[in-house]
A and B are shown apart, each in its own frame.
Chain A
Amino acid sequence: MNNKRYVARSTAIAARALGDETMVMSATNSTLFTLNEVATLIWEAADGATPLEEIVENKICMKYDVAPEVALKDAEGLVAELAGHGLLLISDQPIPRSKVVAA
């Protein structure tokens, strides 16, 4: 059984890197967010094809001294919040490229 979660940047956003952070604005309600350095790593890797667990392992745990289960829990909280604002899509299946915006 595949219990992996895939995350993808929504096409209904405006976004731009600003130093090591990222500005993201919802195109549906114009709410503006900034993602810190760690959240930016997850954002940039959210291509719809890479499972969240793999993103955390390769982008977060390789760079920061953090236990994988702790990092994954934090990442799950972040993606759930971003998905709640319509900025990210979450699926248990890979998400087609047409539904993912370029980083």
Chain B
Amino acid sequence: MSALVEEMARKALKLRIPLSVQLDLTYRCNERCIHCYLDHHDHGEMTTAEIKDLLDQMAAAGVFYLTISGGEILMRRDFFQILEYARERTFCIKLKTNGILIRQKEADRIKALGVETVQISIYSHIPSVHDAITKLPGSLAQSIEAVRRLRAHGIHVIMANVLMLRNARDYAGVRALAAELGAEFILDPTITPMMDGDRSVLSLNVDENALREVFRNEALVGGNVEEFCAPPQGPDEDALDMLPCSAGHTACYVSPYGDVYPCVQFPLPSGNVRRMKFVDIWRDSPQLKEVRSITLRDMPSCSKCAHGGTCTRCPGLAYLEGNMRGPSTQDCEKSFARTGIPSVNLMSKKAAAAERLGKIQLVQIQNVPAMTAAAPV
């Protein structure tokens, strides 16, 4: 992050301005990705007029970075109408799409509307792997064609590679493909629970060995691996007053139904723009105020953890695990894979598991003589 962007973020935090908002236009999608956290049915999306009104409100509230996402954003027939309106309100616009519906005409319009970045998910450079994840035959070829069309216009394209068991070995191939196409490559090693709390998709997450490999890859780390993987020193006094992340502080999320959450990964219902003004929710929502009140010092487990000052703990994942002041086990696992040092949370879980195992063994020992005595000779 540049010094200027950091300074802007500091100022926005001080002024309580929602600098960044992700607005999902729809949860409908033409792919059915195995790891997706969304319900793809339409439960009453905001109308074009409602979204335009919301964009006016967000511009007035000071939103600068607007990420338009979904679902698949181009499933909305009014997508370009919304994009054009957002552009007129001088947002810095980022799009997230699978690119399948981006043909020449769409690429031309995206270029004309001065979009900052277009992020397209590419799960593998191997069609059979990518298409098995999206459950849409031919989807890799179509997504790559979209990348080519956008790049031909000079548009900044980001190829996002979500790492999971099925594609654990393919990130190098996707990275090479991104380089060939002139796109930026990012790797996300976290599968998140569904927004309704269903955690079954977490079984798709890569194992510790794959994570360790990623964290020791200099090209992916983008710096000194030894330093990145060094044992943590524990949080100092300054770190204890740190805010967990920008969610609810300078950023928030709005669903296609107008629900406001601190972040797309932090589905704490904080208000609805169909019933209240965006700025009133942002300023006065008790839920957002609670999120803002939490520092590392308030987290019983994390404040005592050696990783406290350096962990990438996601408060949304912690919330989905049951406690927004608690640890996010997925981030604990990442910290462990990165440094080899278990977090307080992982050690507690291990101790609890050992205790459970001890109890089971005790029951078995008690039962054995009785069973032996009852057994026929």
Residues of A participating in the B interface, judged by any CB pair closer than 8 Å = 11-19, 21, 23, 25, 27-28, 30, 32, 34, 101-102
Contact = CB atoms under 8 A, between A and B. Distances in A.
B182 to A, nearest CB: 15
B116 A27 contact: yes
B116 A14 contact: yes
B58 to A, nearest CB: 10
B186 interface: no
B124 to A, nearest CB: 29
B190 to A, nearest CB: 27
Given A27-B114, A27-B116, A18 B90 contact: no
B17 A18 contact: yes
Contacts of B114: 11-14, 27-28
A15 B19 CA distance: 12
B89 A102 contact: yes
B54 interface: no
B335 to A, nearest CB: 32
Given A14-B116, A27-B114, A32-B4, 5 more contacts: A16-B64, A16-B91, A18-B11, A18-B17, A25-B92
Contact of A16 (B2, B90, B93): B90
A17 B62 contact: yes
B337 to A, nearest CB: 33
B8 interface: yes
A70 B115 CA distance: 38
B116 A16 contact: no
Given A27-B114, A30-B156, A18 B8 contact: yes
Interface in B62-120: 62-64, 88-93, 114-116
Contacts, number: 52
A27 B116 CA distance: 6
Contact of B8 (A15, A23, A27): A23
Contact of B12 (A18, A27, A28): A18
Interface string B11-41: 1100101010000000000000000000000
A25 B283 CA distance: 26
Contacts of B59: 16
Contacts of A11: 114
B377 interface: no
B90 A15 contact: yes
B107 to A, nearest CB: 16
A32 B5 contact: yes
Nearest to A25: B92
Contacts of A25: 92, 116
21 contacts: A11-B114, A12-B114, A14-B90, A14-B91, A14-B93, A14-B116, A15-B90, A16-B59, A16-B63, A16-B64, A17-B62, A18-B11, A18-B17, A19-B11, A19-B15, A25-B116, A32-B2, A34-B4, A101-B88, A102-B89, A102-B90
A23 B64 contact: yes
Contacts of B15: 18-19
Contacts of A23: 8, 64
A66 B361 CA distance: 86
A3 B92 CA distance: 35
B62 A14 contact: no
A35 to B, nearest CB: 12
Report which residue of B90, B115, B116 has the largest number of chain A beta carbons within 10 angstroms of its beta carbon: B90
Nearest to A21: B11
B4 A16 contact: no
Nearest to A9: B90
